[in-house]
Amino acid sequence: MSASPRTLTVLGSTGSIGVSTLDVVARYPERYRIHALTGATQLDRLFEQAQAFRPRFVVVLDEASAEQLATRLKAAGSQTEVLCGEAALEQVAAAPEVCTVMAAIVGAAGMKPTLAAARAGKRVLLANKETLVLAGRLFMDEVKASGAELLPIDSEHNAIFQVLPRAHREHPYAQGLRESGVKRILLTASGGPFRTRALDTFAAITPAEAVKHPNWSMGRKISVDSASMMNKGLEVIEARWLFNAQPDEISVVVHPQSIVHSMVEYADGSVLAQMGSPDMRTPIAYGMAYPERIDPGVKPLDLFSVGRLDFEAPDLARFPCLRLAFEALAAGGAATAVLNAANEVAVAAFLDGRLSFPGIAALSEAVLEQVSGLPAGDLESLLQADGAAREAARAWLARGERAC
């Protein structure tokens, strides 16, 4: 192992991935040191994290929160400095003393600081899949130009990364998947909590039911995305960019036990899978220690208690969001950015009780149709597409088209 500790910034440290990351860090104090922690809400948790990990900086969104947190930290004798705003997030992601950035802010809000980390040539541990959905080509171009080291944290993509040929996973743009001997990527999906629920009861689904994932404990937005299978759609787009895969080289396989985290099928007929207990500390530790392996405290996989592994084809009639993601990918340009933004507005409205569960797909489809043909050229045009989609989504909600 390296002599001096690796310095980390954890963007979104108060969230589900952030907390799991700090759990791994706490097990290896000699290996990792925290430069900065960031959070939008949950100031109490951020305060406790700052006390435990003594970062140089913590970053919050607004001045009022910054003042409040700074006063508390000072009173507790802490040396940690409190910053606020988007520019501060980018600053702590790109700081010269930082080696590794965990990108674990949820949603499009995570894109700019993640991009800043890539531009600065960091090891980027990418949990924030929305960055690739919103700005896939641009982000990968930045990674290539800076020589940043990109390690996927999303469990499926981490699994795929682990079983791809090393040359391809580290330099996916040197050649296509086919030239690397790979026939296709098999992206597994649990099917979420509504895989077998009667379709005619979908309009009655409550936020509490939707955030209750059968296998994984996650933040609220990704839990709803998993229930609608929009999450798998976003992951198809994520895989397209991470692995230089064409859309027809990615297949979704429903696997309710979430033990096989994904697979790669090779030209010779071999199918390599990565398996493990459903615990995000495995992919997080993999990214943190790569290419070494460390023990993150995950419960060992007990195949005898798992008993069986099932596989099914996805049901696109039940889960139209998955179809929409393939359609957005095929449409090209800024379509995936539009889909991502529409979905974010829809999920927030669903969690607030302003939209039915089937309304998430209905709203996303309507916005994708309405805000079409926009280019993905540069950051500015992507942010414009994101803004136009959010506006169209809010207008759709205001028209009261909620029941579907």
Interface positions with ligand NAD (CB under 6 A):
12-18, 39-41, 61, 104-106, 109, 127-130, 154, 216, 218-219, 221-222, 280
142 interacts with Mg ion by CB under 5 A: no
Site for Mg ion contains 154 (CB under 5 A):
yes
Q: Tell me which stretch binds Mg ion (CB under 5 A): 155-163, 246-254, 298-306, 367-375.
A: 155-163
The answer to whether the annotation marks 14 as part of a ligand binding site is yes
- 307 carries a ligand binding annotation: no
User: Using CA atoms, how far apart are residues 254 and 257, in angstroms rounded to an integer?
Assistant: 9
Cβ pair 306, 277 in contact under 8 A: no
DSSP tag of 273: E
> Helix axis angle, 357-370 relative to 320-331, nearest 10°?
20
> CB of residue 231 vs Mg ion: minimum separation in angstroms?
6
Please check whether residue 300 is in contact with residue 195, taking contact to mean a CB–CB distance below 8 angstroms.
no
* Shortest distance (Å) from residue 69 CB to ligand NAD: 13
Report yes or no: 39 and 17 within 8 Å, Cβ to Cβ: no
CB-based contacts of 20, cutoff 8 Å, min separation 6: 279, 280, 281, 284
Alpha-carbon gap, residue 71 to 68, rounded angstroms: 5
Compare residues 38 and 155 and give the one whose CB is closer to Mg ion.
155
Picked from ligand NAD, Mg ion, none, the partner binding residue 12 (CB below 5 to 8 A depending on kind) is: ligand NAD
* DSSP states of 83-121: EESHHHHHHHHH-TT--EEEE---SGGGHHHHHHHHHTT
Shortest CB 60 distance to Mg ion, Å: 27
16 binds, among ligand NAD, Mg ion, none (CB under 5 to 8 A by kind): ligand NAD
Q: Kindly indicate which of the ranges 110-118, 156-164, 281-289, 389-397 contains the residues binding Mg ion, using the contact rule CB under 5 A.
A: 156-164
Q: How far is the CB of 129 from ligand NAD (least distance, A)?
A: 5
Residue type, 106: V
Q: Give which of ligand NAD, Mg ion, none residue 105 binds (C-beta under 5 to 8 Å, depending on kind).
A: ligand NAD
Q: DSSP code of 259?
A: -
DSSP code of 194?
A: T
356 touches, from ligand NAD, Mg ion, none (C-beta below 5 to 8 Å by class): none
Element (H, E) at 78: none
**Which segments are annotated as binding site for 1-deoxy-D-xylulose 5-phosphate?**
129, 155-156, 190, 213, 226, 231-232, 235
Annotated binding site: 14-17, 40, 128-130, 154-156, 190, 213, 219, 226, 231-232, 235
